[in-house]
Chain A
């Protein structure tokens, strides 16, 4: 069974631009969550999607958004990029919602904002 895949793996953007990251969950998994990982703030929850609906959102500005498609694939978008958005963005999928369902993480997308 293929794991969680994220594309692209690396991305370089400049301030003010926007970016879209993609996540393909494990087949059959319906919940997709996104996390931001930085040296200063650590791992922080961005949002969770289930059945094409955002179910939870972390404490991030509205520049961070996402969506989920009918095949459970998900994208996250960051508009008007800032230097502080440089981070590793991790996607995780699980069979269903909630901590009783183990999350499986992808390798991440490394975003650098110049």
Chain B
């Protein structure tokens, strides 16, 4: 069965430090890959997505992610974290073109120390 893991439940970084959030999935074919962010009291916002092509994807708010087929990973990175980046981050993996086929990871909570 398709699954999505985000190994880090909670991460704390200092403002200005770099960030990497991990995401691994199990799925035979190349999936559709997404990263979402959820701020407290808010819905989800799409940061970036990968469907095909260049495996390094640029998103909003200075985030990027790299698809590594050999490692079944789609890690999210940001070179310099801002206090406003504190939120919950969800990786999602789709095995089809409809949203009912998208599975969300458990999320990683990010805290930022000023």
Contact = CB atoms under 8 A, between A and B. Distances in A.
Given A92-B43, A99-B99, 11 more contacts: A42-B107, A43-B44, A43-B104, A45-B102, A47-B100, A48-B98, A56-B98, A56-B100, A103-B99, A105-B44, A107-B43
Interface string A76-106: 0000000000000011100001111011011
* B32, B43, B44, B105 — most chain A CB neighbours (10 Å): B43
B97 A100 contact: yes
Interface in B6-55: 32, 41-46, 49, 51
Interface of B: 32, 41-46, 49, 51, 90, 94, 97-100, 102, 104-107
A99 B97 contact: yes
Interface size class on chain A is 20 to 34
A99 B102 contact: yes
Interface of A: 4, 33, 42-45, 47-48, 55-58, 90-92, 97-100, 102-103, 105-108
- Provide the main secondary structure of the chain B interface: mixed
A99 B92 CA distance: 11
A99 B98 contact: yes
A57 B102 CA distance: 12
A43 B101 CA distance: 13
13 contacts: A4-B43, A33-B99, A42-B106, A48-B98, A48-B99, A57-B100, A90-B43, A98-B98, A99-B99, A99-B102, A103-B44, A106-B43, A107-B42
